[in-house]
């Protein structure tokens, strides 16, 4: 078995607000093997961005980690002092933020901004060495090298996103976390950037966490995927296994929520209701108010971990796992 690069163990996190505590993450656990791409899918407010930010501890002041561990290369990141954690950021773990392309400063050349980022994190680089590095990065992400001296306004949205990816790759990180990197882009540009990102990842043998609300993107890009709902990781496993037999009713519903451009036109399945307010989440299984299989048990007790009979790594939090005990997966 391959080496585990990242292990999240029982991580809980809350945001303190005036109205009360928002339980943004609740006992999230998973392991990620080196060199794999993990897709995290979920709706807004499900905690996927919080999880990503928690790994690098890029959290707002009112966030408080209430329990658990984050192991990166066997080192517990939560025990590190801020100063020590800096060594990890960018160099070992880097992040592509949501709408990061708008974060390029308009008055500096794009190349210089990346060079500055490199020198900030790796002072041993001279200006010319850093510039050479930027040239290689630009080639890697498919940007013309003449673009290094251009200003952000001369870039299109897709090109800016490529520059941001180049910046994230600058220090050869082991793990890249990409938080909705293509959300604001058009289909064709999105497709090209994702393909490029995936190729770069494979070439450099990096591990990647890919966060998206679009299950189709996750299906294409990632080997393993996790489904988050209301601050919990409700299902986790290999993408193939999840698509073959989703265990959690939410996952199954999500998969049938997307109309497809290919194949037969299926009726979409509606998940009724709305995601809960995390100020006051439901007891027991967080999904129970919207679930069609709900029983008294679901309403009271947090569901246990159910492991797929066919794949040990595939698990879900559910009292009534689909596909178990001969139950038909009627979402299919």
Give the residues lining the site for another protein (CB under 8 A): 17-18, 43-44, 62, 156, 158-159, 186-192, 194-195, 213-217, 219-220, 239-240, 243, 253-255, 257-262, 265, 268-272, 274-275
Least distance (Å) from another protein to the CB of residue 111? 20
Q: What element of type H or E holds 197? A: helix 187-204
116/181 Cα distance (integer angstroms): 22
For residue 223, the minimal CB distance to another protein (Å) is 9
Nearer to another protein, 80 or 219 (CB): 219
Residues facing residue 179 across a β-bridge: 211
CA distance 43 to 230: 9
Q: How far apart are CA 323 and CA 34, in angstroms?
A: 30
Among positive and negative, which fits the CA dihedral 137, 202, 192, 53?
A: negative
Cβ closest to another protein, residue 36 vs residue 171: 36
Nearer to another protein, 36 or 159 (CB): 159
Q: Locate 69 and state its tokens.
A: 């561990």
Q: How far is the CB of 112 from another protein (least distance, A)?
A: 24
Q: Which two tokens stand for residue 287?
A: 């999904």
Rounded to a whole number of angstroms, the minimum distance from the CB of residue 127 to another protein is 31
Q: How far is the CB of 7 from another protein (least distance, A)?
A: 24
Give the shortest CB-178-to-another protein separation in angstroms.
Answer: 15
- Residue 164: DSSP 8-state: H
Residue placing its CB nearer to another protein in the complex, 68 or 276: 276
And the tokens for 49?
Answer: 């961005």
**Which residue, 117, 121, 26, 107, is CA-closest to 66?**
26
Quote the DSSP letter at residue 207: E
- 74 three-state secondary structure: coil
Tell me whether residue 94 or residue 161 sits nearer to another protein (CB atom): 161
CB atoms within 10 A of CB 93: 24
CA neighbours closer than 13 Å in the CB half-sphere of residue 194: 26
Between 41 and 93, CB nearer to another protein: 41
Q: How far is the CB of 15 from another protein (least distance, A)?
A: 8
Residue number with CB closer to another protein (207 or 212) = 212
């Amino acid at each position: 078995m391959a080496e585990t690069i990242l292990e999240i163990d029982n991580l809980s996190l809350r945001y303190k607000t005036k109205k009360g505590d928002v339980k943004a993450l609740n006992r999230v656990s998973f392991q990620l093997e080196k060199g794999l791409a993990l897709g995290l899918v979920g709706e807004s407010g499900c905690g996927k961005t919080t999880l990503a930010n928690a790994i690098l501890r890029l959290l707002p002041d009112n966030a408080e980690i209430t329990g658990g561990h984050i192991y990166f290369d066997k080192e517990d990141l939560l025990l590190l002092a801020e100063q020590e954690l800096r060594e990890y950021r960018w160099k070992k773990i880097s992040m592509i933020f949501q709408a990061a392309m708008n974060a390029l400063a308009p008055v500096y050349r794009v190349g210089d901004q990346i060079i500055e980022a490199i020198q900030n994190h790796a002072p041993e680089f001279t200006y010319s060495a850093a510039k050479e590095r930027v040239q290689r990065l630009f080639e890697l992400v498919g940007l013309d090298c003449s673009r290094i001296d251009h200003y952000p306004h001369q870039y299109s949205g897709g090109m800016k996103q490529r520059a941001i990816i180049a910046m994230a790759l600058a220090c050869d990180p082991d793990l890249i976390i990409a938080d909705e990197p293509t959300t604001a882009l058009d289909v064709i540009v999105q497709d090209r950037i994702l393909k490029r990102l995936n190729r770069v990842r494979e070439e450099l043998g990096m591990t990647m966490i890919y966060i998206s609300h679009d299950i189709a993107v996750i299906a294409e890009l990632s080997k393993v995927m996790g489904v988050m709902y209301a601050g919990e990781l409700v299902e986790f496993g290999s993408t193939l296994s999840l698509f073959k037999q989703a265990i959690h009713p939410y996952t199954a519903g999500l998969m049938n929520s997307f109309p497809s451009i290919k194949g037969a036109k299926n009726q979409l399945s509606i998940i009724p209701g709305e995601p809960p307010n995390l100020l006051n989440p439901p007891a027991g299984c967080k999904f129970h108010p919207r679930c069609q299989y709900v029983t008294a048990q679901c309403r009271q007790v947090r569901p246990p971990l159910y492991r797929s009979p066919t794949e040990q790594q595939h698990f879900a939090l559910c009292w009534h796992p689909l596909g178990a005990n001969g139950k038909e997966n009627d979402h299919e």
